[in-house]
Structure 1
Amino acid sequence: MRTTAAVGELSLGAAPLGNLFHAISDEDAAATVDAAWSCGIRGFDTAPHYGLGLSERRLGAALRTRPRDQYTLSTKVGRLLRPRTGPHGDDRANGFAVPATHERVWDFTAHGVRTSVEESLTRLGLDRVDIVYLHDPDRHERQALDFAYPELERMRAEGTVGAIGVGMNQTEIPARFVRDTDIDVVLLAGRYSLLDQSGLTALLPQAARRGVSVLVGGVFNSGLLADPRPGATFDYAPASLCVLERALDLRRLCESHEVPLRAAALQFPFGHQAVTGVLLGARTAAEVTDAAAMLSHPIPSELWDELRSGGLLPRTVPVPDRQGS
């Protein structure tokens, strides 16, 4: 990464702390962060979108007593939270089990970016964030490039933020940011995994050439690669039979080498030189400790060879040369 902001190989994604899909208690959220810290995780990612600010509040509370120079914290801009009037209902339509006390307002203007960062700092209860991502500017590409990014550049020069990134679950717009701006990092969700290598077409090679770090999220493709079974989700929807069968084939081959599929899924992205880390969402302490164990689980080179020769991975895809630790 081009700035002093840095993350380790494994970072904690805090969307589940915002009650993604299911509610968790404040105590369980704190225990999840505690477990991450105990496992040596020092990168933490959140966003206003996650639980209408609940994720930021919980993560900030859990980190507030930690030495500020010992961890890297990222949040995102692009959605401002504004109070709702009248009956609230809940936010399950957006994936979060929280009361719909606020609405999300898309805003990639310069003023919106600065306002978003200020409001995030208030929810976090902290004085700075290390990385700010432009969050899902799919339908706002022009505004994000012309207004949001230049404002983040000014904030980076001021020292208000340490690094600038773009976080998306597609590759075309992030590739444009890598090519046309001076961003530091891309958070790529779901597009570089054992089931989807579309990030390899343009984004990852371009990031490697430009010296832009790539943090890979969604390595389980929203659940399927963690536990392939009927009803499991792929990209936040029920997996098709074809995709499920491919995931089951991946698991069978991994198990023939005594490697959990979760370990292969977590370690696969490190085969590419542009990838500096993976980001994993977790809602329990047990999920965090399992992820840390899977990241260090030994994987023989023969498994990667067989995945490629058997057609489960492209023959030319780069694979890790590490043997675990």
Structure 2
Amino acid sequence: MIELGSTGLRVTPLCVGTSPLASMPGLYGYEVSERRAVETVDAVLAGDAINFIDTSNGYGADGSAERRIGLALRGRGGLPPGVVLATKVDPDPHSGDFSGKRVRRSLEESLERLGLDRVQLLHLHDPERISFAEGTAPGGPVETLAELKREGLAEHLGVAGGPVELMRQYLDIGVFEVVLTHNRYTLLDRSAEKLFRDAYARDIGVLNAAPYGGGMLAKGPEKQQKYAYGRRDDTIAAAAVAMRDAATRAGVPLAAAALQFSLRAPFVHSTVVGVSSPERVADTVALAGTAIPDALWAELDSLAPGPRLWLDPPD
């Protein structure tokens, strides 16, 4: 395990993302039953390879991911010692309100669903849904998060979202101890590398989510034609095919290389991988331990799309 920046939280290099456990077939293309979701969380808690679970108030209808995690935790008498759980505050799902008042209510809902009286790590989730001025206004989301920390309801604060420069803006105000972004540090996209390096150097915890680019690097571009849940330039899919061919020649699943690309980065504390079944938990641990020839890394790097095709191309 490694210390997550300056938080003092000790986490494993793998973190389980629970968005798929909310059962959102419109996003992922499949349903996940409550029983399967609870069994998946149980599989994580029963092992020793992963001690870190990531969720959010907004995952699924009426917070279904948190509710299912809460069921698993209650079955074990609460959050086991040594397990780190992070959740996120989200706007009101009906009105879109993302005020300071809503941030407080979002955490209250999460604590009720999870059966906890506080969380170790609380993220401001996808702040790109409001302006930076709204996010940092007096009495707004950031100020309220700081209050929640002072009140002991959240031990540590993070910011979790997409656009790299917006994440940097939020880090620069000095409130957040952890940064999470998704789909922006993968074999196909390096948008977040400088942000991550800079954050790590400042002793800010770095979480890299979605190392498979929304599935393209795990399922293959034939099954998952979208990168980061959206249509992209055909060059992205072509690069994924070329990378898969290179990995196959080396006798390695492309998913293993995609996962370890993040795990081997010296500036990433933990990699968040979405799982949807107990088998996927075991598969993810196995992929993390797959031997990869050194020569493959250089070949994969040579096949990576250029910066103009990244989600956040540099200026």
Question: If the TM-score is normalised by the length of the shorter chain, which range does it land in?
Answer: 0.7 to 0.9
Are 1:72 and 2:76 an aligned pair? no
SS at match of 1:80: coil
Deviation string 1:260-283 (CA, Å, 9 cap, x unpaired) is 111111111234332101111111
For 1:263 and 1:123, how far apart are their aligned partners in 2? 34
Are 1:18 and 2:30 an aligned pair? no
Are 1:285 and 2:278 an aligned pair? yes
| Residue in structure 1 matched with residue 187 of structure 2 by the alignment | 194
| Residue in structure 1 matched with residue 97 of structure 2 by the alignment | 106
| Residue in structure 1 matched with residue 230 of structure 2 by the alignment | 237
Q: Superposition pairs for residues 70-149 of structure 1, below 5 Å? A: 70-81=82-93, 103=94, 105-107=96-98, 109-140=99-130, 141-146=132-137, 147-149=140-142
Report how far residue 292 of structure 1 moved.
0.7
Report how far residue 148 of structure 1 moved.
1.6
Report how far residue 5 of structure 1 moved.
2.9
For 1:178 and 1:142, how far apart are their aligned partners in 2? 14
**2:22 partner amino acid:** G
SS at match of 1:225: helix
SS at match of 1:234: coil
1:33 corresponds to which of 41, 44, 52: 41
Report how far residue 238 of structure 1 moved.
4.9
For 2:7 and 2:88, how far apart are their aligned partners in 1? 17
Structure 1 residues 204 and 121, CA gap change in structure 2 (3 angstroms): same
Report how far residue 240 of structure 1 moved.
4.7
For 2:6 and 2:155, how far apart are their aligned partners in 1? 10
Report how far residue 181 of structure 1 moved.
1.8
Structure 1 residues 38 and 68, CA gap change in structure 2 (3 angstroms): closer
For 2:291 and 2:167, how far apart are their aligned partners in 1? 32
Report how far residue 241 of structure 1 moved.
3.1
For 2:263 and 2:82, how far apart are their aligned partners in 1? 24
SS at match of 1:106: coil
How many matched pairs? Answer: 290
CA RMSD for the aligned pairs?
1.9
**2:31 partner amino acid:** A
**2:23 partner amino acid:** N
Deviation string 1:231-272 (CA, Å, 9 cap, x unpaired) is 413111356532211101111111222221111111112343
1:204 corresponds to which of 196, 221, 224: 196
For 1:35 and 1:228, how far apart are their aligned partners in 2? 26
| Conserved? CA contact 1:3–1:163, under 8 Å | yes
| Residue in structure 2 matched with residue 44 of structure 1 by the alignment | 53
Deviation string 1:178-227 (CA, Å, 9 cap, x unpaired) is 22223111111111101110002x41122022111111111111110002
For 1:231 and 1:300, how far apart are their aligned partners in 2? 26
Report how far residue 285 of structure 1 moved.
1.2
**2:134 partner amino acid:** Q
Are 1:221 and 2:213 an aligned pair? yes
| Residue in structure 2 matched with residue 84 of structure 1 by the alignment | none
| Conserved? CA contact 2:178–2:207, under 8 Å | yes
| Residue in structure 2 matched with residue 157 of structure 1 by the alignment | 150
| Residue in structure 1 matched with residue 311 of structure 2 by the alignment | none
For 2:127 and 2:300, how far apart are their aligned partners in 1? 34
